[in-house]
Structures are given as C-alpha cells and as structure tokens.
C-alpha cells in the first residue's frame, strides 16, 4: 500500500519554527500541479530549497519529513521570474491526478506527494473562518489554521471511511463505480455521524448491493491523501442468499467473483487492491 515505504519512514509531526536547509525538498505547487523532474516512470526529483530564488524562501512552509529530508511547500504564484535559479532542465508541472496513476515511481516519493496533496488541499480550503468569515493564518505552535479575528482554530480534515470485502466461500463482490476511468473495486463508503464503522459496513453493503452481512472482521487501515480519508478495511460474509440488488446510481457493475478471476487494480497503492489481492491469494483473515 502507499504507506508501505520501509526502510524509509515518513514523519508527519509538525515542527514549530522549522528552518529549511538548501538540501530540503520543495513541493512547488500550482493548484493541484507540482513542479517535478520525472525520469520516465522510474524516479521523481523534487526541487530543493537551494534551487529557489532567495526572495522566495521566506514564503516556504513546512509539511513533512521522509527520512532526513524535510519537505517544504511553496505556491508558484509567490515566485517571481524564474521558478528555479538553475538546473531547471527537465522540470515540468505534473497534475497530481496524472502522477497517482503510475505504479513505477518510488513508493516513498508517492507517499510524500499523497500526504502533501492532503495537507495542501486542506490549507487551500481553510483560508477563511467558517464562523466569522475573516482570514485564517498558520498557527506557529501546531499544525492548525487560526482565525485572525475570532481566534477559531481548525485542524486538518480527515474523513473516516470503510472498504468492504463481502465474501461467500471462494467468491467476493467486485464492483466498479459509475465515474469515468473507474477500475475494479470493493464496496466502500463514508462513516456517518453517530455511526460505528461496523454499522457503516452493514449500511454501505445494504445500500450498494442490497445484502445483509455477518462476521465483520477488521483487516487494515490506510491514510488516503487524495480524498483526505482514513480508510479501514474489513471482510464480512453475506447473510442470506447473496442475490445482488445493485444501486445503479452509484455502481455500473457488481458481481460475485471467484478468487482466480479477480482482476487487480493497476497499482499497489490502495487498501482496496490490498484486500482484493489477499482474497485472490487465499490469505484473507
């Protein structure tokens, strides 16, 4: 999965007053595009702080660390003239949606991008106070945004959601969503207010394929920065005859599928693919 980057390690702790070194990496962003140097589909190079014009360095803000390399963010709009002072050959803006579809980039680089995307999306959506409408600013003591007028403080948004492998012996329900470009998936959905995640499992299965389930077992979790989610994966067994009544507004495909017939997703990033692979290989709990 995207977070499985050992022996590398992502450090998500906020560092108050973090000072950027010239060797630290820069997530130079333009909306949801990032300035990167991509070597085919095998390597990603991030600009470094030392590549930036001196006057732009004051606008850097700290995101995360991977191993000993800190990642700072900078809005491309804050860079006047040349984006980088030198060595610009090969650097281009790449859409995050384009990058996330490749399975060949180093996992630690992709995990850094996923996490940066999560944070930067939250920062961009937290510029104004939801209570009084005044401007928000970075809190210097913790990872938060604080209102300049009323003092309201907000923290990064994280949405709880579940991924569900519904099984019947050697079969599992494989789905495909209505959205363009959707790949094989499992039943999934967000946890509602006042609901346990086990209740979410039961409700989502009923809503999407009209089935009751039993023997719900937790498997694994995953941070999924593309949608600001914390995903929790479960297996459960169908309770009843297993006749699927598909929600056609959400799904375009849902069917019982034998282990050997499961077609996995094109990358190993997702918890969904992890659950499908475990079942395909007979390793589910």
How does DSSP assign the chain, residue by residue?
-TT--TTS-EE----TT----TTSEEEEEETTEEEEEEETTTEEE--BGGGS-GGGGGG-EEEEEETTEEEEEEEGGG--S-SSSS--TTEEEEEHHHHTT-S-S-HHHHHHHHHHHHHHHHHHT-SB-TTT-PBEEE-SSSS-EEETTT--EE----EEEEEEEEEETTEEEEEEESSTT--SB-EEEEPPTT--HHHHHHHHHHHHH---EEEEEEEEEEEETTTTEEEEEEEEEE-S-------TTTEEEEEEEEGGGPPPPSSS--HHHHHHHHHHTT---
Residues 185 and 258 in one domain: yes
Q: Is the pLDDT of residue 86 over 80?
A: no
Residues 89 and 171 in one domain: no
The domain boundary residue, chosen from 104, 124, 144? 124
The pLDDT score that the predictor gives to residue 41 is 65
Residue 115's domain comprises 10-124
How do residues 15-60 score in pLDDT, each as one tens digit?
999 999 999 999 999 888 899 888 766 788 899 999 888 888 888 9
The pLDDT score that the predictor gives to residue 81 is 61
Kindly state the tokens that stand for 233: 């994966």
Residue range 123-146: average pLDDT?
96
Does residue 192 lie within any of the structural domains? yes
How do residues 178-222 score in pLDDT, each as one tens digit?
888 789 999 999 999 999 999 999 999 999 999 999 999 999 999
How do residues 222-248 score in pLDDT, each as one tens digit?
999 989 999 999 999 999 999 999 999
181 in the Ramachandran plot: left (φ > 0), alpha (ψ -120 to 50) or beta?
Answer: left
Closest CA relative to residue 125, chosen from 33, 227, 224, 25:
227
How do residues 146-163 score in pLDDT, each as one tens digit?
999 999 999 999 999 999
How do residues 248-274 score in pLDDT, each as one tens digit?
999 999 999 999 999 999 888 999 999
CATH number at residue 56: 3.90.79
Does residue 178 lie within any of the structural domains? yes
Give how many domains the chain has, as a whole number.
2
Residue range 87-105: average pLDDT?
77
Does residue 188 lie within any of the structural domains? yes
């Amino acid at each position: 999965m995207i977070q499985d980057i050992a022996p590398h390690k992502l450090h998500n702790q906020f560092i108050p007053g973090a000072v950027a070194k010239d060797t630290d990496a820069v997530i130079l962003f333009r909306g949801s595009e990032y300035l990167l140097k991509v070597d085919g589909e095998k390597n990603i190079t991030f600009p470094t702080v030392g590549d930036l014009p001196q006057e732009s360095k004051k606008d850097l803000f700290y995101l995360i660390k991977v191993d000993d390399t800190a990642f700072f963010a900078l809005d491309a709009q804050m860079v006047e003239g040349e984006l980088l002072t030198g060595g610009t050959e090969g650097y281009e803006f790449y859409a995050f949606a384009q990058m996330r579809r490749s399975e060949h980039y180093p996992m630690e680089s992709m995990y850094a991008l996923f996490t940066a995307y999560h944070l930067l999306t939250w920062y961009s959506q937290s510029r104004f106070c939801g209570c009084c409408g005044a401007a928000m600013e970075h809190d210097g003591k913790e990872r938060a945004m604080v209102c300049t007028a009323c003092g309201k403080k907000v923290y990064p948004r994280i949405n709880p959601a579940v991924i569900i492998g519904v099984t019947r012996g050697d079969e599992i329900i494989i789905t495909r969503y209505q959205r363009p470009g959707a790949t094989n998936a499992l039943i999934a959905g967000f946890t509602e207010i006042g609901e346990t995640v086990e209740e979410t499992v039961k409700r989502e299965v009923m809503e999407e394929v009209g089935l009751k389930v039993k023997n719900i077992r937790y498997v694994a979790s995953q941070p999924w920065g593309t949608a600001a989610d914390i995903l929790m994966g479960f297996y459960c067994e169908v309770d009843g005859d297993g006749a699927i009544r598909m929600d056609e507004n959400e799904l375009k495909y849902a069917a019982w599928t034998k282990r050997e017939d499961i077609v996995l997703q094109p990358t190993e990033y997702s918890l969904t693919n992890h659950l499908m692979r475990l079942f395909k290989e007979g390793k589910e709990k």
